[in-house]
Amino acid sequence: MAYLFTSESVSEGHPDKVADQISDALIDNFLAFDTESKVACETLVTTGQVVLAGEVKSTTYLDVQKIARDTINKIGYTKGEYMFDGNSCGVLSAIHEQSEDISQGVDRGSKEEQGAGDQGMMFGYATNETENFMPLALDLSHRILKELAELRRENKDINYLRPDSKSQVTIEYSDDNIPQRIDAIVVSTQHDDFADDDAMLAKIRKDIVDILIPRVVSKLPKQIQVLFNDDITYHINPTGKFVIGGPHGDTGLTGRKIIVDTYGGKGAHGGGAFSGKDPSKVDRSAAYATRHIAKNLVAAGVADEILVQVSYAIGVVEPMGIFIDTYGTCPFNMTDGEIAKKVSTIFDMRPFAIEERLKLRAPIYSETAAYGHMGRKNETVTKTFSQPNGDTKTLDVELFTWEKLDYVDKVKEVFEI
C-alpha cells in the first residue's frame, strides 16, 4: 500500500536559524585566526536583542558584537520595522573560558590521541533517490526556501517578502519505496503589511504557485520534475497574515532545528546539535563523518539506502563501535554486521583523524547553518576575516568536504564490487 512521507525546512531568517548562523559565524572567526580554538557557543535572539553564551579556549580576540550584527544584516534583518535588525539590536556577550575539566579529556600530547569532546551517538544517512543522495522531501523543502530567498533578494518578481519562512513537502511513495508524486506543499512566508488581508492572501498564493514553484521545478532533474502535477495540495500561509516574524515573532535558539539540519526525519538522529561547536565536538564532526561514509557506500553500490551510527565516550580516542543498517537493500550476500566490520577498516573514526580527513579545522561553518548541513555542494571559496585591531586574513577553504565521493573506489575495492 502506498504511503506518505513529509519533511520540513526553515529559511535563513527563521529565528532558530538566525541563532545558528551567529554561532557558526563566531566559530569561523575563531578558527580563521586560531585553528586550535575550542568553542561551544550558544545564541539566543528575541525582539531587539541577541545573547551570546558559551565556552571558548583560543589565542585570538574577536569583536563578537560586530560579527553578530554583520550576520544579522547579511540575512536581511536591516529594517527597524522588523523589530529586530543588525544595526540597532542589543548584543550581550556572556562567553567565558572553557573548563579545564573538559579540555583535559580532549587535549593530549599527541594530536592523534585526541579524545572525543563528549559522549553520545551520531548518525549518517544516504539514499539513492536523489542525485545528492538526500531524502527527496527534505531536498525539495530546502530548494523551495533557497529559491524564495533568491526572489526576496532580487526584489523584482515578488517585492513584499521578509526573511522568515518555512516549507514542508509531502511525497507519496509506492510499496517498494519509490517516489510517485508530490502530494502536498506548505509554504509560510513573512511579508510586508497589506491594506487588504484577502487580497494579500490571494496574491501570495498566486505568486508562490505561479512564480516560486516553477522556478524550483525548472532546476530539478527530469525524473523529479515529473512528480509535480496539477493535483498537488498547496497550503500557502495557512494561518493568514504573517507580518510579525523572525526573532520578534518567536525567540530563536541555537540547535533547535537538528532534523532540518540533517535528513528531515529519515534515518535517525543522535540528538546533538551542530552549530556553535568546533570540530573536537563529535556531535558535529562524527555526524559529518558518518554522512561521508553513508554517501560513499551508497554511491559505490553497497546498498540503495544506508544508515551509519558511531558512538563515543568523552575523552576516549576510539569509538565504541560502528553500526550499519541497509534496510534490506544490499544487493549481495552480506549482513549489516559484516558491512560494518569492513567499513571500520576503511574509515578511521578517531576524532583527530576525522578532523584531518574532512579538513574541519578551517572556517567552513557559516555556510552550513542554513538550508541543511548535508547534501550541499562541495566547493572551494575565498573568505576574508577581520580582527578588532584591523588585521585581516584571507583564506581559500573547502566547503562540505563530507559530501565528496572520494572513497568510492576504495569502498569498491574492499567490497569487491
pLDDT band at 337 (very low <50, low <70, confident <90, very high): very high
Encoded amino acid at 125, one letter: Y
The answer to whether residue 158 scores a pLDDT higher than 90 is yes
State yes or no: 141 annotated in a binding site: no
State yes or no: 98 annotated in a binding site: yes
The answer to whether residue 45 scores a pLDDT higher than 80 is yes
Domain co-membership, 124 together with 141: no
State yes or no: 277 annotated in a binding site: yes
Encoded amino acid at 139, one letter: D
- The arithmetic mean of pLDDT across residues 348-370, rounded, is 97
State yes or no: 164 annotated in a binding site: yes
H-helix or E-strand spanning residue 47? none
Q: What's residue 51's pLDDT?
A: 98
- Collect contacts of 194-199 with beta carbons under 8 A, ≥24 apart: 194/160, 197/240, 197/241
The answer to whether residue 106 scores a pLDDT higher than 70 is no
**How many structural domains comprise the chain?**
2
**What's the rounded Cα separation, in Å, for the pair 114 and 102?**
12
- The arithmetic mean of pLDDT across residues 329-352, rounded, is 96
**What's the rounded Cα separation, in Å, for the pair 169 and 283?**
27
Range of the domain at 376: 120-128+279-415
**What's the rounded Cα separation, in Å, for the pair 415 and 417?**
5
The answer to whether residue 103 scores a pLDDT higher than 80 is no
Contact 133, 299 (CB under 8 A): yes
pLDDT, tens digit (0-9, with 9 covering 90-100), for 211-230: 999 999 999 999 999 999 99
Domain co-membership, 304 together with 233: no
Q: Minimal CA–CA distance to 25: which of 276, 388, 256?
A: 276
Domain co-membership, 156 together with 225: yes
- The arithmetic mean of pLDDT across residues 405-409, rounded, is 98
- Look at residues 223, 244, 265 and tell me which one is the last residue of a structural domain: 244
In a domain, residue 161? The reply is yes
Residue with cell 578558527: 31
pLDDT band at 315 (very low <50, low <70, confident <90, very high): confident
Domain co-membership, 331 together with 226: no
Domain co-membership, 296 together with 380: yes
Q: In the structure grid, which three cell numbers stand for residue 411, read together?
A: 569502498
Domain co-membership, 335 together with 379: yes
In a domain, residue 66? The reply is no
pLDDT, tens digit (0-9, with 9 covering 90-100), for 373-401: 999 999 999 999 999 998 999 999 999 99
CATH number at residue 384: 3.30.300.10
In a domain, residue 259? The reply is no
Q: Minimal CA–CA distance to 298: which of 241, 339, 341?
A: 339
The answer to whether residue 8 scores a pLDDT higher than 80 is yes
State yes or no: 111 annotated in a binding site: no
State yes or no: 55 annotated in a binding site: yes
Q: What's residue 227's pLDDT?
A: 98
Domain co-membership, 402 together with 283: yes
In a domain, residue 26? The reply is no
pLDDT band at 91 (very low <50, low <70, confident <90, very high): very high
Domain co-membership, 300 together with 214: no
The answer to whether residue 100 scores a pLDDT higher than 70 is no
In a domain, residue 208? The reply is yes
State yes or no: 383 annotated in a binding site: no
Contact 278, 38 (CB under 8 A): yes
**What's the rounded Cα separation, in Å, for the pair 287 and 272?**
9
- Chain-centroid distance of CA 330 in Å reads 28
pLDDT, tens digit (0-9, with 9 covering 90-100), for 173-190: 999 999 999 999 999 999
State yes or no: 42 annotated in a binding site: yes
Domain co-membership, 149 together with 233: yes
pLDDT, tens digit (0-9, with 9 covering 90-100), for 265-292: 999 999 999 999 999 999 999 999 999 9
Q: What's residue 114's pLDDT?
A: 77
In a domain, residue 300? The reply is yes
- If you average pLDDT over every residue of the chain, what do you get? 95
The answer to whether residue 119 scores a pLDDT higher than 90 is no
- Residue 200 backbone phi and psi in degrees, to 5: -60, -50
Q: What's residue 170's pLDDT?
A: 98
State yes or no: 5 annotated in a binding site: no
Q: What's residue 217's pLDDT?
A: 98
In a domain, residue 110? The reply is no
Q: In the structure grid, which three cell numbers stand for residue 282, read together?
A: 563529535
Q: What is the 3-state secondary structure of 144-210?
A: HHHHHHHHHHHCCCCCCEEEEEEEEEEEEECCCCCEEEEEEEEEEEEECCCCCHHHHHHHHHHHHHH
- The arithmetic mean of pLDDT across residues 35-51, rounded, is 97
The answer to whether residue 203 scores a pLDDT higher than 60 is yes
State yes or no: 256 annotated in a binding site: yes
pLDDT, tens digit (0-9, with 9 covering 90-100), for 321-336: 999 999 999 999 999 9
In a domain, residue 89? The reply is no
Q: Minimal CA–CA distance to 293: which of 361, 366, 342?
A: 342
- Look at residues 194, 224, 244 and tell me which one is the last residue of a structural domain: 244
Domain co-membership, 124 together with 146: no
State yes or no: 23 annotated in a binding site: no
Domain co-membership, 240 together with 288: no
- Look at residues 220, 244, 268 and tell me which one is the last residue of a structural domain: 244
State yes or no: 250 annotated in a binding site: yes
Total count of residues recorded for the chain: 417
Domain co-membership, 199 together with 316: no
pLDDT band at 112 (very low <50, low <70, confident <90, very high): low
pLDDT band at 118 (very low <50, low <70, confident <90, very high): confident
